[in-house]
């Protein structure tokens, strides 16, 4: 927005010789407003002004753009070609690159002592996620994979093999995890959600077409078998030619082993709890029926 620098300094230097910038010498950019002109009379050229004689052309009563004549209607004459059928129901994963993650870390917007998830991205205000646009979370992309250097425990919604390799090469942990729209809504604007004083939603399991992805150890799915994931980590390291670094620090090891329950969406808070910002307290469900519903 505000530009400062050598060009601005040049302009300001020029301004010193000019009359005072005051209310009487302000004007908008040339061409800021479109000037209407009479197409019949002012358009130049003599006689008919290029519009010809008689008819709809001269009188400016031509049919509107897209008008089609003929007897058979458009939708009957041309066969249906549903290329984009059900596009409005497809799940969208707005991309976020490893370079951007590294940038957030370098700027100090992300705390490395905590696991990173969708909530972290949304809280930095550098990532936007809205369920109105069918957004289901982050797609972590490869850009900046070569220069990525942080050791993190990250949870995303979609990640390619290269991204997984880039994170694990540095001794990090990556998990792919599904959130249903209700949870995405709660995480995208957490303050707004907490102000509603509704119970923290219980995360649903992934739909049928996504179940395979999230239960596959190659994708580091959260529903995959942990032993298979250990095997897949070694396989990937051999494929990309790096060694999995051993973590000796105890606190770092604890951080990397932290995972959420498949039904849980916030670290440290369980589904069913109500957080009251006004009274500064957490209300937990006591009825057996509720406890049974919110149990994992």
Partner 1 sequence: MSDAIFIVPSDNKPGRDNVTTTGSLRAEDKTDVTGELETASDPHLYVPDRPPLPIVTSRQLEYPSEHLPSKQAWLDTMATLEDEKLGIVDLHPKIFGTYPRIDILHNNVDWQRKYRFIDYSFARSRAEMPGGGKSPTHRKRLVELGRVVSGHLYIIKVEKHLTKRVHGLCCALSAKYAQNKLIIVDSLEIPKADHQFLEDLIDVRFWGFSTLFVDDSDIMPRNFSLAVNQIPHFNAMPVYGLNVYSMLKHETLVLTLAAVEKIESKLLQILYSAQKEDVKFEYNE
Rg (CA), the chain: 30
* Residue number with CB closer to partner 1 (29 or 76): 29
At closest approach, how far in Å is the CB of 239 from partner 1? 37
Written as six digits, the tokens of 7 are 């060009």
Round to whole Å and give the CA distance between 175 and 164: 9
At closest approach, how far in Å is the CB of 119 from partner 1? 16
Phi, psi for residue 155 in degrees, rounded to 5: -130, 120
At closest approach, how far in Å is the CB of 275 from partner 1? 24
At closest approach, how far in Å is the CB of 179 from partner 1? 21
* Residue number with CB closer to partner 1 (22 or 78): 22
* Residue number with CB closer to partner 1 (56 or 125): 125
DSSP state of 282: E
Q: Coil, helix or strand for 229? A: helix
At closest approach, how far in Å is the CB of 219 from partner 1? 31
Residues forming contacts to partner 1 in the complex (CB under 8 A) are 1-5, 7-9, 11-13, 15-16, 18, 20-23, 25-29, 32, 124-126, 128
* Residue number with CB closer to partner 1 (15 or 234): 15
Q: Which residues of 126-148 are buried (b: 16+ CB within 10 A; e: fewer)?
A: ebebebeeebbbbbbbbebbeeb
* Residue number with CB closer to partner 1 (104 or 165): 104
* Residue number with CB closer to partner 1 (49 or 126): 126
At closest approach, how far in Å is the CB of 10 from partner 1? 9
Written as six digits, the tokens of 14 are 């020029």
Could you give the count of Cα atoms lying within 13 Å of 231 in the half-sphere of its Cβ?
7
Written as six digits, the tokens of 135 are 């957004």
* Distance in angstroms between the alpha carbons of the first and the last residue of the chain: 49
CA 76 to chain CA centroid, nearest Å: 40
At closest approach, how far in Å is the CB of 1 from partner 1? 6
Round to whole Å and give the CA distance between 9 and 164: 47
At closest approach, how far in Å is the CB of 202 from partner 1? 29
Phi, psi for residue 73 in degrees, rounded to 5: -65, 155
* Residue number with CB closer to partner 1 (14 or 76): 14
Round to whole Å and give the CA distance between 258 and 269: 14
CA 295 to chain CA centroid, nearest Å: 30
* Residue number with CB closer to partner 1 (21 or 281): 21
């Amino acid at each position: 927005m505000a530009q400062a620098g050598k060009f601005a300094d040049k302009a300001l230097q020029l301004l010193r010789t000019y009359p005072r910038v005051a209310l009487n010498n302000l004007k908008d950019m040339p061409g800021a407003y479109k000037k209407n002109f009479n197409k019949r009379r002012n358009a130049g050229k003599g006689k008919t002004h290029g519009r010809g004689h008689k008819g709809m052309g001269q009188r400016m009563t031509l049919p509107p753009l897209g008008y089609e004549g003929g007897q058979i209607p458009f939708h009957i004459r041309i066969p249906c070609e549903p290329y984009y059928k059900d596009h409005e129901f497809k799940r969208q994963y707005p991309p976020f690159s490893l370079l951007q993650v590294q940038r957030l870390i370098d700027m100090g917007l992300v705390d490395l002592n905590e696991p990173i998830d969708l909530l972290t991205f949304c809280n930095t205000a550098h990532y936007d996620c809205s369920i109105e646009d069918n957004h289901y979370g982050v797609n972590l992309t490869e850009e900046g994979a070569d220069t990525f250097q942080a050791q993190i425990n990250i949870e995303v919604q979609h990640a390619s093999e290269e991204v997984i390799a880039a994170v694990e090469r540095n001794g990090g942990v990556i998990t792919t995890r599904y959130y249903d729209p209700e949870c995405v809504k709660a995480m995208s604007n957490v303050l707004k959600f907490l102000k509603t004083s509704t119970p923290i939603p219980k995360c649903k399991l992934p739909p049928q077409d996504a179940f395979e992805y999230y239960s596959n150890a190659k994708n580091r799915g959260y529903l995959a078998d942990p032993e298979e994931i250990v095997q897949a980590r070694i396989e990937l390291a051999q494929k990309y030619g790096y060694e999995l670094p051993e973590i000796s620090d105890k606190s770092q090891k604890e951080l990397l082993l932290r995972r959420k329950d498949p039904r849980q969406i916030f670290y440290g808070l369980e589904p069913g709890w109500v957080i009251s910002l006004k009274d500064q307290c957490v209300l937990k469900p006591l009825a057996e029926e509720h406890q049974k519903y919110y149990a994992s």
